[in-house]
Structures are given as C-alpha cells and as structure tokens.
C-alpha cells in the first residue's frame, strides 16, 4: 500500500486535478445540501384508530382494544403496544424497532386488523392505519387575525392554503382554529308531534332522496341516449323542499317542520393570536428541502396572495408569520459556520507558530479539502446539514490535521537534511504511513460502535459518528496522497512567492504596516470562504443562479486571497538564526526530566504510583463534589407552551374565559413576541416529541420568545411567568419549554400497571401522596380518571317492548337533544369536501329536561319517553390507558431548580436549601456561602437554618445537588421497601429514565467495543501485548481529565454529551501513545533502550503537543461558548447553539489536555519499568546462576556460553567518530531490510 504514494507522486498532475475536483464538487455539495435545525427522527410507529359512536370506555377496552392487542402481540419487531380506550373511540399505537421494513409491517398490521375486525360488535366503523412521523412539524405559522366575520377569515385562509400547498417544497398547510361547515336543520318539537313525524322518518326521507342514481341509457335505432336522474342535494333549497309526510291532500316538506341554514359545526374550541380571533396555517415542508429557502418562499407567497385582496380587507385582516424555524436554523448555521472558521483560524495560528509558513499552509490546506470530500459523501447519502453535522466538523477540525502535521513535520526534517521537496514529502508519507493509518483507524474505532446507537438518542446523534468517519477518512487521503504531491509541487512556486515577498518588503519597509496588511488579507480570506459557503455575504449574487455560478466569485476571491496571503506571510516572517554546529549531542530540558525518571529503577515506580494516586483522588473527589447527572443538555428555550389545567364539566365558554386570564398575563410578559391561545379542543401541531399534555388540560397558550440577543435568559422569563401565573385562582398552569434536542416530558415518571382496577387506583394515589411528601418535587400529576359527571340514560327494555318501542328509537330522540342526528352528507359550492346534514332541536330545547316532554310513536300512539327511560348522574370515566396489555397509570413530577440537600458525615439529610438566584419571584436570603445566597426550602423538626449555615461553613456538612436521578434513587428505595404497594401492582420508571438507561448501557458497550477494536489494531502494528495495553492506558487518563473538566467548568455530567465525549476521546488520546511507542521501537533497534525512551520523548514532544493543541484550540471557543460572526462582525457568548455543545467540548478539551501531559510522563515510565524489571530479574538470574556455576564443571560453562552465542544475531555497528581505516572494522548488514531508516545521531548529525 505504501507503493500508492510513489504512484501518486509520479502522477502529480492527475492528483492536482483530483484536488481541484474535490474542492469544486465538495463546495457545490455543501451549497446544495438542505439545511435544518435538528435531524429528522423517523420513529417507527403506526397508529390504528377505530371509531365507534356511543361506546363507553369500558366497552371500548373489552370489545375493541383487547381483540386488537391479541392480534398485534406476535408482530415481528414490535417493542411496545400502547392502547387507549375512550368514549366513542379505540386507538392503538404500535412502536417497532428502528430499521423496520415499513411496507411489510403495514401489510402485517392490516392483516392483523382484518382478523380482529371480525370480532368487533356491529356499529364499529372501519379502522384506519396512520404512520406517525414526528419530523413532520410546522416550520412556520401563518396567522390570519382581525375584526372580520368568521366566514371571511375561513375563506381567506382556504385561499392561502391552496396557494401554499401548490408550492413544491410544502407538504401541507393545515388549518387550525377553523370549523367545518354543516347544514343545520332546527326542528320544532311541537311541529313534529303535530304531524306525527319521528326521527326515523327524517332519516329515511333524506337518505332515500339524496342518492346518486345511475339510470343507464336508452338504445334506439337512432343511437344510445344517456338517462340522468338528478337526485343528490346541491343546495339547502333541495333539503328545504324535501317531502316528509302527507297531511290530507297536502305534502309536508322539511322546510315546514324546521329552520334550515348553512352554518358551522358547534364550536369545540377557540383560537386567538395576540388577543385577536385567528386562523393559523401550519406549513410543513417536504423532507429533503432546505428549510431556509422554503420559509422564504412561503413568506413571498403569502405577500403575493395578500396583494390580491381589496384594500379594505388588507386593512382589517392582519397576516403574520411567526414561529419561523428557519430563523433559528439560519442563526444556528451562521454561528456554527463562525465556530468552524474560528477553529480553523486557531489551528492555523498554532501550526504557523510551530512549523512555519509553508508547512502551515499545507496543513491548513488539509482542512477545507477534507471537509469538501466529506460533503461529497454526505451529498451522496442525501444527508441534510444539521447542528449535529456542523458540530462534527468543529470536533474534527483539530483531529483531521493530526496526520498532516505528522507528515509535514517529518518532511520538514528531511528538507533540513538536504532532501529534494518531492522526495522529502514522499519519504515522510511512506515513513509515517502506518502510524497515520493506525492513529486514524483507532480514532474511527471510537466512532464506529456509535453507528449502532439504539432509540431516539441514537437517531438524534447518529450523524455525529457518520460525519466524523467521513471527515477522518477524507483526512487520511489528504495526508498520505494529496499532501506529498502538493508539497512537492508547491516547492516549485516557492521562488515566485519569495520574490513577491521581497518586492513587498522593498515597497513597504515598515514591518507594522506589512503585519496590518497581512491581517487584512487574512480577513479577506475568511470573507471569501464565507462568500463561497454562503453566496451573497460579500458580493451580491442572483438567487436563481446555478450553484456553481453563485459560488464562483467566492472561489476566485479565495484563490487570489490565498496567493496574496502567501506573499504577505513571507514578507512578515522573521528569519530564524542559524544554529552553530555543536560538537556533540545536547539533551533538552524535557529530555533531562525524562532521563531523571527512566534512568533508575525507582523513579518509574514513584511516577506511576503518583499518577495512580492522582487518578484515584480525582475519581473520589468527583464522586463527592459533582453536580449530578442529566440525560440530555438543558439548552435555553426559544418558545414554550403554557398548559391551562382545570377540572370539572366546563363548557367551551367557561374554558375560554379561564384561558383568557392566562393569555392576558402572557401578553404582558417582556421578552414574549407572539402568543397563540387555544381553549378546548384544537391547537397547533407542536413538536413535543410525543409528550402528551396533562390529562386535565382545558387549553394552551403557545408563546414565541424574542430573538436570543434581544431578550433575557429564556429560563428566567419562563420562571417569572410561571410565578405570575401561579397567582391565578381556580386553575393550575404548567409551562412546557420547547428547547433544542429530543423533546422530553417530566424527568420523573413512575408507571404503575396491573389488572385489578381498584388496587391500581389505590396504588397510584399512594404513590402520588409520597411524591407530594418528598422534598424537591414540583408540578406533580397523575393519569387517574378525572373527576366529572356523565348522565347515563337507562332504557327499560321490557317497558319499551310493551309499547312497541326499541333502543334505536329512544337513542334517536336523545340525539335530537345533544349533537343532533346525522341525516346524510351533501356537497355545496363553498366547500371542497362533503358537509354533514344534521337535525336537532333549537338551542334552548337542547337540555335534559326536554326528554321529559318528548313522545315517541308506538302502536298505541304517542307515548311519553319518560315511561320507559330514566337518567342518572354517574362518575365520569373518559378513557383507559393500556401498555403491553395491562392497564397503567403514571405519576409524573419535575424537580425544583437550584435545590441542594444538606448532608452530614453519616450521609443523613439535615435539610434542603435553594439557590436564591434560581427563584424568579425573588426572596430573602437566609445565609450565604461564598458568593451564593441560599434560602431555606425545608427543614426536619428540630433543625434550624443557623445550624445548617454554621455546619456548611465549618465543613461539617456538605451540599448534594438535588436532581431527577437523585430523587429517583430515593423513590426507588421507597418502592423496594416493605411492600408499600399492593401485590397485584407492578412498577417501572418510564420516560427519560428508559432512554437514559438504554443510552447509558449502550455507551458502556460502545466504549468496550471501541477498546477491543483499537487493541486489535495496535496488536497488529506493534506485535506486542504490553505496548498495546500501554497505549490504551491513555483512555483512563483521559477520563480523569473529563472529570476535572466537569469540576473546573462547574458542569453537570450529561449521559449523552459527556458520554459521547468520553467514547470519542478513547480514539483520540491513543494517537499520542502510538506516535511515542512507534518511534521508541524504531530507536530501540540501534541504541540502548533507556536512551531510546529519552530520545523518543525529546523528538516526539513537538508533534504530540502540536496535534493536542490543535484539537484543543479547535474546540476551545465552543467550550467557553464563544462564537465569532465573520460575516456581520461581532461575537456571541453562551448562545443556545453554543450551550448545547459545551459539555462535549469540555470533555474533549480537558480529557485530551490532561491525558497528553500525563502520557508524556507515564508512557516513558511504563516502558522503563519493563526494562528495569527484566534487567533486575536478569541480574538476579545471573547471580543465582553464578552461585550455582561454582559447582559445575568446565563442560557446563561451555554449554551455557554456546546457548548465549546462539541468541546473538549479526549486529550492525555504528561509530561516534570516524576511525582510521587501519583501526576500524564495520560489519555490513546482510540485507537491505536490516538497515535502520534513521541512524543514530553522530556529532555531525546532531548539529543537523
């Protein structure tokens, strides 16, 4: 494979063409790839719904849900069955394993439903199978509001909906806040009784006359003539003239019995935008389209449609676009692009300072080239550019230059020795081929297992390992193929650049002026890069121009700026003074340190013991002083939903009045830009990740915060808002903040299951009571049936039969008092869909007392309905939840922010205190510790705040942060106690805890798999178990650095982010050890092994520190939350994008930095320890042999000498001085392979 390097060097022009092609195609791929905020997560799930009007929740469970569960339980790949049995409805959600065969699974589900449907009772409607796609959520909301009639708003919204859905990137534009049209037939109860008309008569009359009749055709001698019978309803007049009965000689029509009008269905909810009646269009984009371009197209289309309205309509109806996700995505992309450019700049500064101008330019060239090759691969896969992909680029910036740095640094040595440029770079690539391949392979081994991350977190973070694998694989090609050729070719242009630099120096003799020009040219290079990536930043380009045309100005400008940068760097470069030739080898200060450690058998042991003690102390200190564990990163929210909760049989008007109180407070909150308010049913299709609203929610208020830079911290705004809402009497509110990352519900979710209904409810109440008692829990809720009243109408079947009546007749009369009887459907010009024809009594007669006055027709004449009907109030049971064929209830809670538990030396709880800065409504500090003010949250009997403060200041008491995992541990201890729950009830932790446990287990397995793969690669390279294990010890040192980083930066340990950082570090930190041990094995071939250790540390410290510092420099801005805006100028600190990646960046920076420092000491110590161990063991063996040899004869001594001689191979001898021909005899090697690639330094070579 090394021969590939010579093959590429002999075809330099072809390689240069490939480089240009890679940059061009890669740039085009980046511009063309769609941009999105977060990865689309396609959760493999199907929802099956079965409507059954009038069925109760208990009957729905027994007759509909259980037959479906029985058929579904044997489906392949099924993980969870979640069923809901409610009044008039049964639904089942089936969740499958990721990687499912969607088409085959849907076919299997349809077959299972066909079998289950055979067991359904008569009256069940046809089932419907729906695919659940949590990625299809609105990217922008178009709100129509104002003082206009409802019909006008609906007409305008429908027109705009048609215009938006005609756009190719738009999947749908659903309406929220509208009602369906219907033809309402308001009956006069007295007229019905007078004409002896029943509900059945009305239904039969409408159905029999509203039919599409295919009459056929009449064939005659002159041809065939079609015969038409217009019979379906086209307008309300057709219904008005419909004959119902005959009164003598006169036909009584429906218009004489009722008032017929085209209206809307009963209002089930209300919708307002910023306090005005509103209709919202929820625009969903198709997958594969750019969210930024789609949102811009939507806004343009909205303005075009609005321009066609009359002037007075434009004045009265306001059209607003809000909740625009493209704004967040655009800011995120811009910030991450700035972070990438910042990382590149810092890496270049480090390389420039260490290697010089030419080498730095070659190393810097590896960054964009590797990125562009990775973009080509991403484009082939059809992957969108998301925040995960962008951070993968940031993480890779400092890592992808490692191979380039090693090759260029070695080539620089060869150039100083007098080699020609092409030969120097080719030799460097061949010499470092296997170390670079091994180090890259070990890094890839850390990311390969992450490709199999299960569940939603794995789908969310899945593109991070894919991006890293693509970028690092591309960097391998660049370092070993592209760079040797470009290094040799670039040397031909060095003279031209040097002449240009000399001209600049002559024209501008002032050094400060040349430095200023160099900085300006560097900034121009960044602008050119931005112009290429994001056309239009510097030079205006037509939006409809092809991608290559839009990128051309940026590419041309970047090439020109790069040439100018080369000239300017040469003009400001300070020439290094030539070192005088020294007579002998001089050890460096670091060499003396390593020599003092490895030069005697004691210091390696002392060093190793000291490092072990440091590692153990770090783990111990972190265990006692950490900030707890969290599942995902808590980023700052950008919008939120306020759930309005109340209980009781409330009407829509009563619900709307309560929601208006909440809406008024939200509208007055500073930092809130737009507010949607919904009461009753309805609302926006929000991305809550499947997290359901509380069961007693009567409405919701969705708010959109001002842009991040124009408001306070989002959490402070929401905390302050929650404090104001808590003062409202009669209702409860709960704020669900929609931040970045996979949406999640409350962190504590206890799920209780069982078949005994009474014991299950009792267990749920017991669990909730303990939740209420336990300190630190807030927003506690359960899924027990809500208190309410249903009116149950019982029909005395025997009495009804005596009069000749039946249940269907009674049911029809009852429907006249409620929603009405659905007669049929019809089409009208104002609607694209069929509308219902519904008949019922007037609004003032739609009360239960009307049932007492109604009469039904029997064979004995009209009989009062009350003769065989009674109605009584019963407790309401709205729905029954089942999971995996068992009834379940959940008890959920959140954790109070800023709460800490005060613990004594025995681990006993002495009280709870809260950080005052986390309380939005403020308060009075009870005491302070350092600069932090605390208030007493809860104290046990007999304890005082003064005692806690004194104990904490004296160090007798310590603080333990209260978080979800800590509270769950205490709840688990209670649940595992002496049978607190009935024996028939089982429990488990659901929600985040399921995902957290699964992700934690996977990351542990991935960590082990990565170490195993790396061990195989290292064993293949070094052919030494000891050296392979020695390389992997750096992983433990890196974990120590991660924990130190968590402590220094005062961060919480994130299962996802910090865990990912630890796994990623496993593949990064071993690279330093690979370089050290590979060089040691080379030196040990021709010098004493202890001296080889010292020389290795001396010669490799520069590339080791260089690769480490480049990786740390690339991630340092992200660790501190700094993002530079090169396009518009300025910077941001702790933006939502930066906060998201802080923990992962901190893990890599601290883990790599501390591991590198320790590796430079531990690795030589462990190498020396083995040498000293076998040396001392040999001394002891020889002493024992010498003592025993006194009794042996001459023959035994000769045999021992012969055995020792057989072990000696033909040596290669080097001399420190040139001996005279008469005095020297140099043994030549027998084969070329035995000649070492680099001889030891003679006094002359040391000077070189």
Answer whether 140-180+267-322 and 181-208+226-264+789-875 agree in fold: no
Predicted confidence (pLDDT) per residue in 231-290, tens digit: 667 777 777 778 888 777 778 887 888 888 888 888 888 888 888 888 888 898 887 788
Higher pLDDT, 337 or 1096: 1096
Highest average pLDDT, of 41-45, 221-225, 554-558, 886-890, comes from 886-890
Q: Does residue 740 surpass a pLDDT of 80?
A: no
Confidence of residue 661 (pLDDT cuts 50, 70, 90): very high
| Lowest-confidence region among 28-37, 579-588, 933-942 | 579-588
1235 pLDDT more than 50 = no
Q: How far is CA 1201 from CA 436, 1179, 1183, 1193, in A?
A: 43, 17, 16, 13
Other C-beta atoms lying within 10 Å of the C-beta of residue 247: 12
The Cα–Cα gap between 640 and 722 comes to 12
- Predicted confidence (pLDDT) at residue 543 exceeds the cutoff of 70: no
Taking a C-beta distance cutoff of 8 angstroms, is the pair 1059, 1151 a contact?
Answer: no
Q: Phi first, then psi: what are they for 165, rounded to 5°?
A: -70, -15
Report how far residue 289's alpha carbon sits from residue 329's, in angstroms, rounded to the nearest whole number. 13
Tokens 């340092």, residue located: 1116
Structural contact between residues 84 and 880, judged by C-beta atoms closer than 8 angstroms: yes
pLDDT of amino acid 68: 92
Answer yes or no: is pLDDT of 957 > 80: yes
Give the mean pLDDT of 292-300: 89
In the prediction, which pLDDT does 254 show?
A: 79
Q: What is the pLDDT of residues 1022-1072, one digit of tens each?
A: 888 888 888 888 888 888 889 998 888 888 888 888 888 888 788 778 877
Strand intervals (E) in 57-127: 78-86, 89-96
Confidence at residue 534, expressed as pLDDT on a 0 to 100 scale: 67
Cα distance between residue 303 and residue 296, in whole Å: 11
Q: Is the pLDDT of residue 1136 over 80?
A: no
Look at residue 447 and tell me whether its pLDDT is greater than 80: yes
pLDDT of 1232 strictly over 60? no
- CA separation for the pair 403, 363 (Å, rounded): 9
For residues 630-654, average pLDDT: 82
pTM comes to: 0.75
Scan for tokens 């219902």, then name that residue: 836
Binning pLDDT at 50, 70 and 90, where does residue 763 land? very high
Residue from 331, 526, 346, 389 nearest 1132 by CA: 331
The tokens describing 800, both together, are 């009804």
pLDDT(879) > 70 = yes
As a whole number, mean pLDDT of residues 780-808 equals 78
Element (H, E) at 184: strand 181-187
Give the CATH class of 140-180+267-322. alpha beta
The dihedral region occupied by 387, where left means phi > 0, alpha psi between -120 and 50, and beta the remainder, is alpha
DSSP per-residue codes, 710-766: GSS-HHHHHHHHHHHHTT-TT-EEEEEEE-SSS----SEEEEEEES-HHHHHHHHHH
pLDDT band at 750 (very low <50, low <70, confident <90, very high): very high
**Paired tokens of 817:** 């008092």
Give residue for tokens 């020609």. 420
Exposed, middle or buried by CB within 10 Å (0-12, 13-18, 19+), for 1181? exposed
Instruction: Sketch the domain layout of the chain as residue ranges.
Output: 45-131, 140-180+267-322, 181-208+226-264+789-875
Exposure b/e, 1187-1219, CB count within 10 A at least 16 = b: eeeeeeeeeeeeeeeeeeeeeeeeebeeeeeee
pLDDT tens digit sequence for 966-1001: 888 889 988 888 778 888 899 998 877 777 777 788
* Contact yes or no for 182/836 (Cβ under 8 A): yes
Residue 182's closest CA among 844, 843, 830? 830
Asked whether residue 1221 carries a pLDDT value surpassing 60, the answer given is: no
pLDDT more than 90, % of the chain: 6
* Spatial distance between the Cα atoms of 562 and 408, rounded to a whole number of angstroms: 19
Spatial contact of 177 and 201, defined as CB atoms under 8 Å apart = no
pLDDT of residue 135: 63
3-state secondary structure of 857: strand
Nearest alpha-carbon partner for 629 in 1056, 1134, 1150: 1056
Q: Which of these ranges, 115-129, 147-161, 806-820, 1099-1113, has the smallest mean pLDDT?
A: 806-820
Q: Collect all residues with Cβ–Cβ distance below 8 Å to 2 and sequence separation of at least 6.
A: 430, 433
C-alpha separations of 337 from 341, 387, 446, 1113, 1127 in Å: 6, 10, 25, 16, 10
Average pLDDT, the chain: 80
Q: What is the DSSP secondary structure assignment for residue 985, as one 8-state letter?
A: -
Distances (CA, A) of 94 to 132, 136, 458: 10, 19, 20
Question: Does position 197 have pLDDT exceeding 80, yes or no?
Answer: no
Cα 316 to Cα 330: distance, rounded to the nearest angstrom: 32
Structure tokens that stand for 165 in this block: 């859905």
**pLDDT for the residue 1240:** 41
pLDDT at 1128: 64
Let me know the angle formed at the C-alpha of 1089 by 1086 and 1090, rounded to the nearest 5 degrees: 135
CB 413 within 8 A of CB 992: no
Question: Mind listing the pLDDT tens digit for each residue in 297-338?
Answer: 999 999 999 999 888 888 888 898 888 888 888 877 777 777
Reference 31, options 561, 550, 559, 545; nearest CA is 550
Alpha carbons 1020 and 1028: distance in angstroms, whole number: 9
pLDDT band at 542 (very low <50, low <70, confident <90, very high): low
pLDDT interval class at 1224 (50, 70, 90): very low
Handedness of CA 704, 707, 712, 715 (dihedral sign): positive
Q: What pLDDT sits at residue 244? A: 80
Which residue is listed with tokens 């409507």?
A: 51
Task: For residues 957 and 951, give the distance between their C-alpha atoms in angstroms, rounded to a whole number.
Answer: 5
Cβ atoms 1152, 1065 nearer than 8 A: yes
pLDDT digits (tens, 9 = 90+) for 448-483: 888 888 877 777 788 888 888 898 889 888 888 888
**Among the CATH numbers 3.30.70.1430, 3.10.105.10, 3.90.1310.10, 3.40.50.720, which is that of 45-131?**
3.30.70.1430
Please state the rounded mean pLDDT for residues 814-837: 78
The CATH code for residues 181-208+226-264+789-875 is 3.30.2090.10
Q: Which of 696, 703, 689, 687 is nearest to 733 (CA)?
A: 696
CB 481 within 8 A of CB 487: no
Question: Which pLDDT belongs to residue 298?
Answer: 92
pLDDT tier at 1201 (50, 70, 90 boundaries)?
Answer: low
Token pair of 1247, please? Answer: 């000077």
Confidence at 1236, pLDDT banded by 50, 70, 90: very low
- Supply the pLDDT for residue 1197: 61
Residue 690 confidence class, pLDDT cut points 50, 70, 90 = low
């Amino acid at each position: 494979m090394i021969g590939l390097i010579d093959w590429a060097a002999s075809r330099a022009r072809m390689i240069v063409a490939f480089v240009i092609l890679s940059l061009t195609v890669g740039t085009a791929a980046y511009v063309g790839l769609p941009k999105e905020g977060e990865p689309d997560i396609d959760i493999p799930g199907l929802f099956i719904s079965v409507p059954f009007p009038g069925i109760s929740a208990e009957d729905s469970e027994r007759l509909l849900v259980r037959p479906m569960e029985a058929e579904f339980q044997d489906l392949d790949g099924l993980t969870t069955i979640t069923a809901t049995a409610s009044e008039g409805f049964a639904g089942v959600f089936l969740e499958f394993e990721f990687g499912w065969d969607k088409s085959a699974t849907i076919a299997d589900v349809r077959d299972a439903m066909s079998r289950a449907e055979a067991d359904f009772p008569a009256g069940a409607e046809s089932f419907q199978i729906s695919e659940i796609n949590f990625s299809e959520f609105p990217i922008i909301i178009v709100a129509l509001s104002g003082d206009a009639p409802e019909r006008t708003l609906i007409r305008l919204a429908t027109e705009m909906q048609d215009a938006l859905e005609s756009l190719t990137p738009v999947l749908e534009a659903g309406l929220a806040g509208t009602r369906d049209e219907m033809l309402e037939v308001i009956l006069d109860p007295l007229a019905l009784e007078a004409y002896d008309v029943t509900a059945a008569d009305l239904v039969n009359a409408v159905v029999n006359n509203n039919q599409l009749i295919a009459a056929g055709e009449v064939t005659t001698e002159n041809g065939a003539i079609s015969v038409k019978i217009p019979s379906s309803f086209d307008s309300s007049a057709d219904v008005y003239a419909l004959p119902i009965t005959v009164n003598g000689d006169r036909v009584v029509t429906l218009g004489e019995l009722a008032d017929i009008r085209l209206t809307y269905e009963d209002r089930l909810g209300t919708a307002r935008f910023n306090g005005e009646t509103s209709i919202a269009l929820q625009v969903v984009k198709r997958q594969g389209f750019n969210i930024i371009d789609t949102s811009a197209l939507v806004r343009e289309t909205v303005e075009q449609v609005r321009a066609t309205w009359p002037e007075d309509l434009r004045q009265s109806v306001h059209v607003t676009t809000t909740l625009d996700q493209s704004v967040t995505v655009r800011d995120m992309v811009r910030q991450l692009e700035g972070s990438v450019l910042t990382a590149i700049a810092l890496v270049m500064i480090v390389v420039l300072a260490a290697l010089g101008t030419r080498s730095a330019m070659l190393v810097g060239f590896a960054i964009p080239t590797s990125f562009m090759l990775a973009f080509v691969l991403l484009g082939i896969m059809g992957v969108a550019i998301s925040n995960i992909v962008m951070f993968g680029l940031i993480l890779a910036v400092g890592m992808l230059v490692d191979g380039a740095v090693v090759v260029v640094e070695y080539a620089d040595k060869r150039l100083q020795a007098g080699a020609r440029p092409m030969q120097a770079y080719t030799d460097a690539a061949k010499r470092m081929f296997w170390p670079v391949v091994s180090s890259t392979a070990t890094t890839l081994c850390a990311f390969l297992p992450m490709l199999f991350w299960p569940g939603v977190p794995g789908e969310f973070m899945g593109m991070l390992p894919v991006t890293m694998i693509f970028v690092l694989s591309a960097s391998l090609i660049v370092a070993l193929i592209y760079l040797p050729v470009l290094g040799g070719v670039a040397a031909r242009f060095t003279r031209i650049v040097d002449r240009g630099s000399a001209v600049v120096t002559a024209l501008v003799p002032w050094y400060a002026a040349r430095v200023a020009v160099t900085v300006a040219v560097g900034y121009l290079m960044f602008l050119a890069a931005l112009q290429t990536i994001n056309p239009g930043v510097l030079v205006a380009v037509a939006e409809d121009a092809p991608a290559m045309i839009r990128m051309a100005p940026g590419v041309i400008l970047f090439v020109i700026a790069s040439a100018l940068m080369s000239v300017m760097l040469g003009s400001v470069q300070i020439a290094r003074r030539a070192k005088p030739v020294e007579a002998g080898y001089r050890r460096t200060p670091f060499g003396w340190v390593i020599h003092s450690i490895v030069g005697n058998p004691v210091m390696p042991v002392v060093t190793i013991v000291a490092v072990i003690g440091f590692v153990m102390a770090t783990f111990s200190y972190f265990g006692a002083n950490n900030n707890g564990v969290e599942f995902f990163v808590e980023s700052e929210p950008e919008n939120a939903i306020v759930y309005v909760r109340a209980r009781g049989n409330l009407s829509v008007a009563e619900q709307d009045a309560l929601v208006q109180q909440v809406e008024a407070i939200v509208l007055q909150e500073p930092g809130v830009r737009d507010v949607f308010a919904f009461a009753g049913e309805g609302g926006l299709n929000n991305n809550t990740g499947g997290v359901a609203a509380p069961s007693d929610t009567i409405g919701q208020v969705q708010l959109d915060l001002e842009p991040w830079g124009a408001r306070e911290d989002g959490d402070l705004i929401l905390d302050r808002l929650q404090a104001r809402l808590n003062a409202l009497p009669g209702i409860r509110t709960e704020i669900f903040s929609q931040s970045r990352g996979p949406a999640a519900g409350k962190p504590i979710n206890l799920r209780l299951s069982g078949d005994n209904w009474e014991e299950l409810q009792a267990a749920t109440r017991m669990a909730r009571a303990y939740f209420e008692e336990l300190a630190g829990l807030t927003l506690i809720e359960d899924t027990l049936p809500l208190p309410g009243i249903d009116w149950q109408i019982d029909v005395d079947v025997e009495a009804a039969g005596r009069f000749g009546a039946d249940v269907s007749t009674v049911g029809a009369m009852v429907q006249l008092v409620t929603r009405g009887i659905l007669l049929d459907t019809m089409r009208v010009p104002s609607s694209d869909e069929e509308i219902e024809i519904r008949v019922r009594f007037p609004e003032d007669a739609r009360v239960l007392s009307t049932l007492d006055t109604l009469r039904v027709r029997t064979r004995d004449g009209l009989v009062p309905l009350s003769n065989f009907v009674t109605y009584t109030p019963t407790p309401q049971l709205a729905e029954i939840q089942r999971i995996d064929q068992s009834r379940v209830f959940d008890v959920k809670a959140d954790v109070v922010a800023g709460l800490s538990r005060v613990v004594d030396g025995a681990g006993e709880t002495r009280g709870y205190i809260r950080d005052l800065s986390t309380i939005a409504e403020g308060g009075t500090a009870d005491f302070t510790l350092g600069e932090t003010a605390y208030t007493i949250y809860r104290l046990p009997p007999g304890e005082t705040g003064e005692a806690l403060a004194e104990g904490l200041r004296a160090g007798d008491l310590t603080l333990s942060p209260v978080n979800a995992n800590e509270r769950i541990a205490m709840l688990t201890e209670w649940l595992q106690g002496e049978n607190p729950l009935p024996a028939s009830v089982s429990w488990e932790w659901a929600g985040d805890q399921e995902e957290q446990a699964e992700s934690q287990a996977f990351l542990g397995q991935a960590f082990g798999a990565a170490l195993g793969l790396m061990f195989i690669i290292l064993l293949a390279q070094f052919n030494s178990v000891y050296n392979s294990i020695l390389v992997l010890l750096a992983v433990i040192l890196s974990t120590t650095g991660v924990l130190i980083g968590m402590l220094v930066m005062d961060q919480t340990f994130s299962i996802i982010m910090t865990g990912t950082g630890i796994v990623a570090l496993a593949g990064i930190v071993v690279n330093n050890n690979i370089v050290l041990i590979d060089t040691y094995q080379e030196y040990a071939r021709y010098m004493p092994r202890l001296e080889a250790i010292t020389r290795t540390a001396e010669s490799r410290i520069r590339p080791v520190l260089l690769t480490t510092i480049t990786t740390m420099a690339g991630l340092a801005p992200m660790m501190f939350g700094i993002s530079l805006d090169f396009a518009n100028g300025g910077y941001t600190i702790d933006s939502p994008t930066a906060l998201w990646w802080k923990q992962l960046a901190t893990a890599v920076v601290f883990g790599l930095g501390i591991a590198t420092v320790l590796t430079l000491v531990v690795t030589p110590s462990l190498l020396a320890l083995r040498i000293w161990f076998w040396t001392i063991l040999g001394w002891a063996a020889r002493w024992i042999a010498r003592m025993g040899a006194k009794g042996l004869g001459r023959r035994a001594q000769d045999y021992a000498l012969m055995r020792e001689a057989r072990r000696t191979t033909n040596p290669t001898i080097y001399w420190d001085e040139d001996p005279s021909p008469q005095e020297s005899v140099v043994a030549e090697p027998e084969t070329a392979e035995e000649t070492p690639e680099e001889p030891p330094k003679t006094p002359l070579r040391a000077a070189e």
